[in-house]
Amino acid sequence: MRYWLCITTEENWKVIKEKNIWGVQERHRNTIAKVKSGDKCLIYVMSTRKDNEIIPPKIVGAYEVVSEVFKDNSRIFKPPAKNRNEVFPLRIKLKPIKIFRKPIDFKSLIPKLK
């Protein structure tokens, strides 16, 4: 079993939470190919700017991977502004372990990581 950090945006975190699916771009195929059913992942929401305030990165939930990687081109995720055609087609199904009511500040975890 491995542990993964699944990076996403605030908008796509809502999709992950609702549909229990996480997806990546084709260029990350070699990395996501290493993810196996039974692995665990933390959902990392990237830093963002809102009303001239920087919202720091955070961990919002812990999940278990419950599928092998599969390809799906349906548009469920919000694409980045630079690439409006992106659908994040390489996906895994997830089962929630814990959704944090109060997200964990990622920067506070950095000294504890090995």
Q: Nearest to residue 62, comparing CAs of 34, 36, 45, 43?
A: 43
Has residue 27 got a pLDDT over 90?
yes
pLDDT digits (tens, 9 = 90+) for 72-87: 999 999 998 888 899 9
Over residues 76-104, the mean pLDDT reads 95
pTM of the shown model:
0.90
Helix (H, G, I), strand (E, B) or coil at 60: strand
Has residue 113 got a pLDDT over 80?
no
What number of other Cβ atoms are within 10 A of residue 89's Cβ? 16
CATH (residue range 3-112): 3.10.590.10
